[in-house]
């Protein structure tokens, strides 16, 4: 099969399409013919080697963390799916590789594709949808009437998280450029701050929750807009001790992670707010709940561009530029 791979970290060519073997099918797996896969900044970070200490992949590596397609085979113990089912998923972090003609995944990580979405639209959802769900609902416990600050509202995670937060009944503030103000307002944002003109720290006060996706300076500012008892959940780092325990890192790596986040955790304690790091996990049941929201018209995908498979490298570069509104997708079949 054809697949987009990296041969080494920080490769100058950024990856290439080549012929490789089809993935093995384990007893709990479904084999999916990939129709579309979306690009995430996570793909760039993996390619650059930013996660090689905590996610030691074997190279060459097929990139890709989102998929929509059709099941062609199922393992001997699979009960929830059958060949011909249209599905979408974020594969487990140890089994990524959606930039390929086929991928094998554990059935627990997979969900039936929303009936009202195209394959390209469906492929744009899993990683950002699960990230927003696990940040706002699972970790953040966001309630009706609470105030949440979602950074970078016109990005992939931002466009989904705004809609989910509004569905939960929250008051939503976000940052974006003036060119994207109407987009984020149409998704439900109540307060929109042009980050090029204004500093959100001078405008926002007493927030219950922050979804942080930006740099360390923005994270520190965000801690200060929370009310006592509020929470900041960061998807851009630094990783914290809970994350190290969750993925079972060895003791010396746990120590390194503890040191990496020590400064931020100390500042959070001083301000009497909470800090936690989220590296979202694959979760088919949560994705099925997201499917219900999409089919009910509560959440819609926000798409920017669709590239042919042959232009995967260009698609990644476009996402890295930071100009994308919503998601960028690669059409594989």
Residue 102: beta bridge partners? 33
Q: Above 90 in pLDDT, residue 51?
A: no
What pLDDT shows up at residue 101? 98
DSSP, collapsed to helix, strand or coil, labels residue 247 as: coil
Q: What percent of the chain has pLDDT over 70?
A: 100
What pLDDT shows up at residue 12? 79
What pLDDT shows up at residue 49? 92
What pLDDT shows up at residue 13? 84
pTM attached to this predicted model: 0.97
Domain residue spans in the chain? Answer: 2-125+301-331, 127-277
Compute the average pLDDT of residues 213-222.
96
Virtual torsion, Cα 177, 181, 186, 187, nearest 10 deg? 30
- Angle between the N-to-C axes of helices 262-270 and 251-260, in degrees from 0 to 180, rounded to the nearest 10: 50
Query: Rounded to whole angstroms, what are the CA distances from 223 to 39, 174, 199, 233, 262?
Result: 29, 15, 14, 10, 14
What pLDDT shows up at residue 181? 97
Model pLDDT for residues 74-130, shown as the tens digit of each residue: 999 999 999 999 999 999 999 999 999 999 999 999 999 999 999 999 999 999 999
> Does this chain's domain 2-125+301-331 share its CATH topology with 127-277?
no
Whether omega for the bond prior to residue 317 falls within 30 degrees of 0, making it cis, is no
What distance in Å separates the CA atoms of residue 300 and residue 294, rounded to the nearest whole number?
6
The one-character DSSP state at 325 is S
* Residue entry with tokens 């405008």: 203
Model pLDDT for residues 117-170, shown as the tens digit of each residue: 999 999 999 999 999 999 999 999 999 999 999 999 999 999 999 999 999 999
Q: What are phi and psi of 213, to 5 degrees?
A: -130, 10
CATH class of the domain comprising 127-277: alpha beta
What pLDDT shows up at residue 56? 85
Model pLDDT for residues 6-24, shown as the tens digit of each residue: 999 988 788 999 999 999 9
CATH class of the domain comprising 2-125+301-331: alpha beta
């Amino acid at each position: 099969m054809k697949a987009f791979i990296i041969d080494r970290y920080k490769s100058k060519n950024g990856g290439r399409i080549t012929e490789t073997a089809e993935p093995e099918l384990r007893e709990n797996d479904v084999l999916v013919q990939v129709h579309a896969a979306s690009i995430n900044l996570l793909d760039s970070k993996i390619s650059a080697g930013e996660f090689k200490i905590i996610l030691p992949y074997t190279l060459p590596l097929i990139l890709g963390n989102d998929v929509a397609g059709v099941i062609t085979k199922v393992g001997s113990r699979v009960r929830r799916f059958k060949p011909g089912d249209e599905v979408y998923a974020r594969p487990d972090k140890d089994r990524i590789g959606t930039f390929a003609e086929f991928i094998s995944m554990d059935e627990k990580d997979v969900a039936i594709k929303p009936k009202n979405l195209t394959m390209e639209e469906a492929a744009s959802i899993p990683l950002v949808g699960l990230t927003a769900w696990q940040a706002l609902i699972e970790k953040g416990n966001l309630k009706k009437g609470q105030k949440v600050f979602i950074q970078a509202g016109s990005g992939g995670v931002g466009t989904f998280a705004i809609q989910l937060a509004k569905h939960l009944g929250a008051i939503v503030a976000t940052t974006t450029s003036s060119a994207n103000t109407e987009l984020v307002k149409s998704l439900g944002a109540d307060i929109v701050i042009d980050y090029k003109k204004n500093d959100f720290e001078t405008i926002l006060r007493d927030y219950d929750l922050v979804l942080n996706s930006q740099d360390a300076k923005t994270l520190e500012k965000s801690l200060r807009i929370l009310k006592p008892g509020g929470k900041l959940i960061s998807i851009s780092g630094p990783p914290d001790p809970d994350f190290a325990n969750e993925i079972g890192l060895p003791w010396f790596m746990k120590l390194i992670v503890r040191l990496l986040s020590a400064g931020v955790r100390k500042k959070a304690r001083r301000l009497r707010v909470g800090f936690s790091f989220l590296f979202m996990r694959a979760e088919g049941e949560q994705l099925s709940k997201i499917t219900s929201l999409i089919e009910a018209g509560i959440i819609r995908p926000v798409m920017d561009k669709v590239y042919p498979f042959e232009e995967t490298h260009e698609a990644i570069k476009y996402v890295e530029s930071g100009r994308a509104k919503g998601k960028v997708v690669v059409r594989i079949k």
